[in-house]
Amino acid sequence: MRAAPKKTSTRGATVKAAAGQAAKSATTLKQAMDGKASPAKAAAGDKPVFDYIAGMPQPQRGIAKRIDALAAKTLPGLQRAVKWGMDYYGVDDGWCFCCGAFQGHVKVMFIKGTDLRPEPPVTPVAMGKATRGVEPKTLADLDEKQLVAWMKQAATMPFVSAAAKRK
């Protein structure tokens, strides 16, 4: 007999443990939006990112769609992937920034954020010492001109992991 998946209580919300369970629907994502990245399964390509965005509740979906559109317009040779429960955007086999839905906001984090000018204001927890970004709560909170400027800067210095460099 198989054991039922573990349930964990986080800030009063009950969510199924992510082990072996990808985000299968918008309901799964909404339940997971408790301050941590979604349990969306890692996958490269446009479709997994579009599916991840489609599964977000509003207003996060609208914000993420706009950020995705800005990235598509701004970054030549754009690569997309879902990694660590967030959308990742990159160029030249490296990653520039990530975007993910959280309870009440969207995180847009630039991997080499401390090298951007002006430096993005938010320092996230547990995302790397150089990571910086913004956390818009509404579409009106997006400073599109500044996001595009940061995307262009980040594209000149994409993060390439040590494992990818060895290939």
The pLDDT, as a whole number, for residue 126 is: 77
Question: Which tens digits make up the pLDDT trace of 144-164?
Answer: 999 999 999 999 998 875 445
Overall average pLDDT of the 113-119 stretch: 96
Place of tokens 């609208």: 62
pLDDT digits (tens, 9 = 90+) for 8-57: 333 333 223 333 333 343 434 444 444 445 567 788 999 999 999 999 99
Instruction: Provide the whole-model pTM.
Output: 0.74
Fold assignment, 22-159: Aspartate Aminotransferase, domain 1 (3.90.1150)
Q: Spell out the residues 6+ positions from residue 136 whose beta carbon is closer than 8 angstroms to its own.
A: 63, 105, 106, 108, 142
In the chain, what are the domain boundaries? Answer: 22-159
pLDDT of res. 11 = 33
pLDDT digits (tens, 9 = 90+) for 81-90: 999 889 999 9
